[in-house]
C-alpha cells in the first residue's frame, strides 16, 4: 500500500482528541443552553446572509464551502461572547463540548441561506411565469407541463415579487402551499444527507483518518489547556495574531478604498502564467484558501496541482483541434468546462465513489448487520443517530424525494439514474472537501446533466423536462453543500461527549429554522424592493436557465449521448488506473483525488501550490516540530481574512454602503 510520506495527515494531535475517562463527565455536550445559543446564532445568520446578499451586495458570507459566515460568528461567540459570559459568572461560560455543538449548527446553517435551497426556491417557483413572452411562447409551450402545486400561478403576485409590491406586503395565501411542498422535499433531502454522513463518519474519521483540513481552525479555537482560562490558548498565541494581522491589514485597506478611493488598495491577484502558449493559469492568493491548504497532505496537494495543470493543457488542445461532443446541460455550470472533460470528470467521480465504497465494504457490512440484526458487537454509540435510524431515515427520505419528483413529472425509470448522478457528485464534493480541503470548486457535471446526456432528453417529454427543471433548486449548484458541512461537523463530535443523540434534532431544527427565516427575508426584500433590483443572478439567470433547458427539450429532444458514455468510461478507467498506481507504486507522488475536479477549482490551485512548497520547505529544514509551530500562523490567516470581512459587513450595514465586496475565498 502507498504510504503518504508527509507528516501532515498521519497523526491526529492529542489536543484534538475527545474527552475520555472520568473527565468526560465534566463536559455538558448538547446542553439546552448550547442548542439555544446555536439556534439564536443560526437565526441571525439566516437574516444577515440574505440581507448582505440582497441589500449590501458585499462580501459573500454564504456561498462557498469555506463557510465564512459560520467562522466569523463562531469567532464572535468563542473569543468574545463566551469570555464575557465567563466574566459575569464562570458557570455561564460554555465548555468546549458546548462550543463544538454551536459550531456544528452554524456550519450546517451556513449552507442554506444563499447559494443553497433558500436562494433558488423562489426564482424557480416564479421564473416560468414572469419570463413568459409572446416571443418565447412559454405560456403555451411550458406552463401546461409544470407541477402546478410547486409554482406560483398568480401573475400579480409574481410580478410584485420581481418588481416590488405597492404595499410591500407578502401575499402569503399564494406562497404558503408551494413553499410547504418545497420544504417537504428539502427536509427529506437533508435528512438523507445527514444519514449518509452518519453512516460514513467512522470510515472517514477513524478508519481512513482523513485530514479534515477545514476543521483545524474550529478545533483549535475550542481547546483548553491546564490553566482552563476563559481565553482559550489559541487566542493567546502570538504566532496566530501575526498571521491574523496580515490579511486584516490588507482587507481593511481594500475596504477603506471602497469608501475613500484616494486610499490605496492592495490586490492579491498576481496575474496569470502562460503554459506552452496554449493557455494561461490564474495566480491569485487567497489568505483563507492558503490557510486551509497548509493542512492538506503533501501527495494530495501535488495531485490537485498536477491534474489541474494537465486539465488546462487538455482543455486548450481540445479547443485548438476543434474536438467536441454535444451536451445538454440543466445547470449553468455545465457550460463552464469542455464537454469531453465534463464527461470524463463524471466518469472519474463515479469511479472515485465506487472505489471509496469498496474500501469501506467492511464498515458498510457492519452498518448493515447492526441495522438488520442489531449485532451488539458493533458499536454505534458515538454517532448522532444509530445506524438503524440512519439507514431507515435515509431510505425514507429517498422515497419522499422519489414520490415528489414523480409527481413533478420525472419518469419513474429516470429517478434512480438521477439519484445516482446527484449523490455521486455530492459524495465526490464531500470527499474532496474533507480530504483535500478544496473549498472552492465548480462541479464539471451534475446529476441532472448526467441524466440529460446519458439517457437523452426524448425520454423525458414535457412533464419530465419540467420535473428535471425543478432540480435546479438542489442539484445543479453545489458550490456550498450541506453534506460536506455535516461531514466536517461530525468530525467534531468526539469533542462533545455526553448527549450526542440530541445533536440530530438540533440539526433538524437548524435546517428548518434557517430555511424558514431566510425564505421570509428573501420574500420581504423582493416585495419591498423588487427581486430584479436585489440580485440579478437569482432573479434573472436562475429564474430562466432551467426553463430554457425545458424549452429546448420540448422543441428539440435528443437520444442518449453515445460519445458521452465513451468519455465517461474513459474517465472511470483513468481514475481506476491512477488509484492503482498511487497505492501500488511508492514512487508515484500524485494522489488521484484531483482528477475528478481538475476542471473545477482554478481559483484555488495556486494557493494549494504555494502551501505545497511551504510544506516541502518546512519538512526539509524544520521537520514536524516547525510544522506544528507554524500551524497557528496559517490558522490566523483564515481567521484574519474572514473576521475582517465580517466586521466590514456590519460597518456597511450601519453606513448603508453597497458593493464593498471583500473576497471571502
Render pLDDT for 262-273 as a digit per residue (tens, 0 to 9). Answer: 999 898 888 888
pTM as predicted: 0.91
- Half-sphere exposure at residue 389, Cβ-oriented, CA atoms within 13 angstroms: 12
What average pLDDT does range 174-197 have in this prediction? Answer: 96
362-420 per-position pLDDT tens digit: 999 999 999 999 999 998 988 999 999 999 999 999 999 999 999 999 999 999 999 99
| 297, 616 contact by CB (below 8 A) | no
Q: What is the dihedral of CA 422, 424, 430, 432, to 10 degrees?
A: -130
- Model confidence at 8, pLDDT cuts 50, 70, 90, reads very low
CB 341 within 8 A of CB 588: no
The span from the first CA to the last CA of the chain, in angstroms, equals 35
User: Which pLDDT band holds residue 664 (cuts at 50, 70, 90)?
Assistant: low
Beta-carbon contacts of 293 under 8 Å, excluding residues fewer than 6 positions away, are: 213, 301, 437, 604, 607, 608, 610, 611, 612
- Structural contact between residues 195 and 390, judged by C-beta atoms closer than 8 angstroms: yes
Give the torsion sign (CA, 340, 345, 346, 347).
positive
Residues 6 or more apart whose CB falls under 8 angstroms from that of 531 comprise 122, 123, 161, 162, 525, 538, 539
Q: Determine what percent of the chain is predicted with pLDDT higher than 70.
A: 93
Is the pLDDT assigned to residue 554 strictly greater than 60?
Answer: yes
Measured CA to CA, the distance from residue 469 to residue 447 in angstroms comes to: 12
Q: Which three cell numbers stand for residue 617?
A: 520547505
Indicate the SS3 state at residue 275: strand
Predicted local distance difference test score (pLDDT) of residue 334:
60
Would you say residue 22 has pLDDT above 60? no
Confidence category of residue 331, pLDDT binned at 50, 70, 90: low
Amino acid at each position: 500500500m502507498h504510504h503518504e510520506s508527509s507528516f501532515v495527515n498521519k497523526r491526529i494531535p492529542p489536543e484534538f482528541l475527545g474527552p475520555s475517562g472520568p473527565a468526560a463527565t465534566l463536559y455538558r455536550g448538547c446542553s439546552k443552553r448550547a442548542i439555544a445559543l446555536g439556534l439564536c446564532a443560526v437565526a441571525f445568520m439566516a437574516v444577515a446572509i440574505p440581507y448582505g446578499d440582497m441589500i449590501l451586495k458585499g462580501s459573500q458570507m454564504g456561498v462557498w464551502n469555506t463557510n465564512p459566515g459560520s467562522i466569523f460568528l463562531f469567532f464572535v461567540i468563542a473569543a468574545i461572547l463566551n469570555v464575557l459570559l465567563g466574566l459575569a459568572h464562570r458557570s455561564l461560560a460554555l465548555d468546549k463540548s458546548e462550543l463544538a455543538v454551536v459550531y456544528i449548527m452554524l456550519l450546517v446553517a451556513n449552507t442554506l441561506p444563499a447559494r443553497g435551497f433558500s436562494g433558488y426556491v423562489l426564482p424557480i417557483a416564479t421564473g416560468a411565469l414572469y419570463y413568459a413572452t409572446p416571443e418565447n411562447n412559454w405560456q403555451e409551450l411550458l406552463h401546461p407541463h409544470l407541477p402546478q402545486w410547486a409554482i406560483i400561478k398568480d401573475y400579480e403576485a409574481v410580478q410584485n415579487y420581481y418588481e416590488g409590491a405597492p404595499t410591500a406586503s407578502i401575499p402569503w395565501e399564494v406562497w404558503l402551499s408551494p413553499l410547504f411542498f418545497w420544504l417537504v422535499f428539502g427536509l427529506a433531502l437533508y435528512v438523507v444527507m445527514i444519514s449518509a454522513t452518519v453512516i460514513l463518519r467512522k470510515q472517514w474519521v477513524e478508519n481512513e483518518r482523513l485530514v479534515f483540513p477545514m476543521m483545524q481552525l474550529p478545533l483549535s479555537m475550542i481547546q483548553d489547556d491546564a490553566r482552563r482560562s476563559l481565553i482559550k490558548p489559541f487566542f493567546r498565541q502570538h504566532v496566530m495574531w501575526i498571521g491574523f494581522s496580515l490579511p486584516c491589514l490588507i482587507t481593511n485597506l481594500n475596504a477603506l478604498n471602497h469608501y475613500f478611493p484616494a486610499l490605496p488598495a492592495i490586490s492579491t491577484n498576481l496575474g496569470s502564467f502562460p503554459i506552452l502558449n496554449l493557455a494561461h493559469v490564474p495566480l491569485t492568493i487567497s489568505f483563507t484558501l492558503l490557510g486551509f491548504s497548509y493542512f492538506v497532505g503533501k501527495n494530495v496537494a501535488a495531485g490537485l496541482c498536477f491534474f489541474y495543470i494537465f486539465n488546462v493543457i487538455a482543455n486548450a488542445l481540445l479547443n485548438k483541434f476543434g474536438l467536441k461532443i454535444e451536451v445538454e446541460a440543466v445547470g449553468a455550470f455545465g457550460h463552464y468546462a469542455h464537454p469531453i472533460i465534463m464527461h470524463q470528470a463524471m466518469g472519474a467521480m463515479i469511479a472515485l465513489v465506487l472505489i471509496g465504497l469498496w474500501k469501506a465494504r467492511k464498515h458498510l457490512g457492519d452498518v448493515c448487520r447492526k441495522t438488520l440484526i442489531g449485532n451488539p458487537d458493533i458499536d454505534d454509540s458515538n454517532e448522532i443517530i444509530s445506524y438503524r435510524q440512519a439507514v431507515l431515515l435515509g431510505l425514507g427520505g429517498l422515497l419522499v424525494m422519489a414520490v415528489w419528483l414523480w409527481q413533478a413529472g420525472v419518469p419513474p425509470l429516470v429517478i434512480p439514474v438521477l439519484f445516482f448522478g446527484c449523490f455521486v457528485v455530492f459524495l465526490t464534493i464531500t470527499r474532496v472537501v474533507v480530504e483535500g480541503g478544496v473549498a472552492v470548486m465548480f462541479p464539471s457535471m451534475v446529476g441532472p446533466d448526467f441524466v440529460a446526456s446519458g439517457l437523452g432528453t426524448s425520454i423525458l417529454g414535457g412533464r419530465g423536462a419540467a420535473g428535471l427543471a425543478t432540480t435546479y433548486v438542489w442539484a445543479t449548484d453545489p458550490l456550498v453543500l450541506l453534506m460536506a458541512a455535516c461531514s466536517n461537523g461530525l468530525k467534531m463530535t468526539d469533542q462533545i461527549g455526553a448527549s450526542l443523540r440530541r445533536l440530530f434534532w438540533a440539526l433538524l431544527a437548524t435546517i428548518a429554522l434557517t430555511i424558514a427565516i431566510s425564505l421570509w427575508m428573501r420574500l420581504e426584500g423582493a416585495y419591498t424592493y423588487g427581486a430584479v433590483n436585489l440580485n440579478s443572478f437569482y432573479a434573472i439567470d436562475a429564474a430562466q436557465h432551467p426553463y430554457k433547458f425545458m424549452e429546448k427539450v420540448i422543441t428539440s429532444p435528443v437520444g442518449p449521448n453515445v460519445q458521452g458514455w465513451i468519455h465517461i468510461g474513459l474517465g472511470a478507467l483513468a481514475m481506476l488506473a491512477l488509484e492503482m498506481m498511487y497505492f501500488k507504486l511508492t514512487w508515484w507522488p500524485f494522489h488521484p483525488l484531483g482528477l475528478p475536479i481538475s476542471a473545477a477549482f482554478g481559483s484555488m490551485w495556486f494557493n494549494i501550490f504555494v502551501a505545497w512548497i511551504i510544506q516541502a520547505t518546512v519538512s526539509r529544514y524544520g521537520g514536524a516540530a516547525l510544522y506544528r509551530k507554524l500551524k497557528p500562523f496559517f490558522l490566523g490567516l483564515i481567521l484574519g481574512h474572514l473576521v475582517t470581512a465580517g466586521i466590514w459587513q456590519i460597518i456597511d450595514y450601519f453606513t448603508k454602503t453597497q458593493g464593498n465586496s471583500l473576497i471571502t475565498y
